[in-house]
Structure 1
Amino acid sequence: MQIYSDYAAHRSRQVAVDVIAVAAIAAWIGLGAFVYSLVIDLARFGEQMESAGSDFSTTMTDIGDRFGGMPLIGGGIRAPFEAASGAGQSLEAAGRSQQEAVLNLAVGLGWGIAVVPVATILLFWLVPRLRFTRRAATTRRLVRAGITVDLLALRALTNQKLSVFAAVDADPVSAWRRGDPEVMRSLAALELKASGVRIR
């Protein structure tokens, strides 16, 4: 599999774009992780709420149990402490809910910040790179199979932009039809260069 062009200038551009793309992907992933870590820190407040509610609920329950065992006043005095214990449990549940909400927000923001830009980079960078690799492999296979100059020239006529032909000939199609050897070689060279394949 040919990843880079055989031509130095084209190869240098490919390497530069690859480095920029990989660096951009790493930067966006790093930013997503950074935002995740910033937001998830807000869950500490929920942890404190949960811990405080649990401790308060346990304390009120213990006090209610102690006073509840006292003769005469035990049954009546236990109710307020049980109510206070219920308030502590509500605070504990609120702390857990806050942690879940912060976690969901942190995950959503972290992935959202990283995934969309990375997917865009992959679309505009990796897809053309894969196309180049496939085209280079096809061209190299055809060259090894003994493709002729006129067929390479025909591939150039079908694959290259019209603006590229101006440097070759004013009417490259007519020149190809009449078998002009110089135009044929120039067109074949264009196709090979675009495919990143150099015939040695």
Structure 2
Amino acid sequence: MRLYAERPVRLTAQVLFDLAALAWIYLGYQLSVRTEAAVLELRSPGYRMIDAGAQLGGTFADASRTASTVPFAGDRLADVLGRGTAAGDVLTDSGHRMLEIVELSASATAVLVGALALLPLLALWLPRRIRYARTASRAVNMREHAVDVLALRALAELPHRELKTASSDPAAAWRAGDSEVIAKLAGLRLSALGLRPPRTS
């Protein structure tokens, strides 16, 4: 599998584009991380609710213990105040649920931001790189074993003005088996992919 061209100009352009793609991936990762951190800052109210619930429950528990020492009505009063600790538990549970929701939302948002950042690469850069690798690999193989097929590809895919540089009638020369013109046509196709021309004997 040939990932890069052989000619310096095309090779340099490919390397620069690949480095730009890697930089874009890094920026997308950093953006998703920072977005997650920003959403996680919304956990503060949840922590405050947990602290408030713990304090409220502790206050009612202390009041219940103190009330139990009151003569005659102490037990009844302690029972009533003891039920107030449930309010603290509810507040604490609500705080924990809020934390879970915020953390889940932060993770989902980070994944979404990362996916959106990768979308241009998946839609534009990656298909072109895969297409080039396949095309260049086939062309290199044909350069070694099927120069005439490579020349035929040039006739089918390259603009006529480029084909005229190989021969005034390149199609007729190819049909006649003109090895010199076939080599030139193959070279044009390889050059379009940034690859070296076929070796001539």
Asked if Structure 1 and Structure 2 have the same fold, meaning a TM-score greater than 0.5 normalized by the shorter chain, the answer is yes
CA change 1:80–1:174 in 2 (3 A) is farther
- Give me the whole-angstrom Cα distance separating, in 1, the residues matched to 2:141 and 2:175: 25
Gaps of 5+ in 2: none
Pair 1:68-2:80 in alignment: no
Query: Which residue identity does 1:120 align to in structure 2?
Result: P
Deviation, 1:73, is: 1.3
SS at match of 1:166: helix
**Which shifted more, 107-116 or 170-179?**
170-179
SS at match of 1:197: coil
Alignment correspondent of 2:192? 194
Q: Normalising by the residue count of structure 2, what TM-score does the alignment of the two structures yield?
A: 0.83
Alignment correspondent of 1:173? 171
Query: Which residue identity does 2:63 align to in structure 1?
Result: I
Alignment coverage as a number of residue pairs: 195
Deviation, 1:28, is: 1.1
Pair 1:135-2:130 in alignment: no
Query: Which residue identity does 2:174 align to in structure 1?
Result: W
Deviations 1:60-91 (A, max 9, x none): 12431442354411232124423321211121
SS at match of 1:72: coil
Alignment correspondent of 1:14? 14
Deviations 1:137-196 (A, max 9, x none): 22223333x323x221112234x25xx332222764344334455643332112212344
% identical equivalent positions: 29
SS at match of 1:110: helix
Q: Normalising by the residue count of structure 1, what TM-score does the alignment of the two structures yield?
A: 0.83
**Which shifted more, 70-79 or 105-114?**
70-79
Query: Which residue identity does 1:157 align to in structure 2?
Result: L
- Give me the whole-angstrom Cα distance separating, in 1, the residues matched to 2:95 and 2:82: 20
Alignment correspondent of 1:147? 146
- Give me the whole-angstrom Cα distance separating, in 2, the residues matched to 1:98 and 1:154: 67
Alignment correspondent of 1:53? 53
SS at match of 1:41: helix
- Give me the whole-angstrom Cα distance separating, in 2, the residues matched to 1:66 and 1:124: 72
- Calculate the aligned-residue CA RMSD, in Å: 2.4
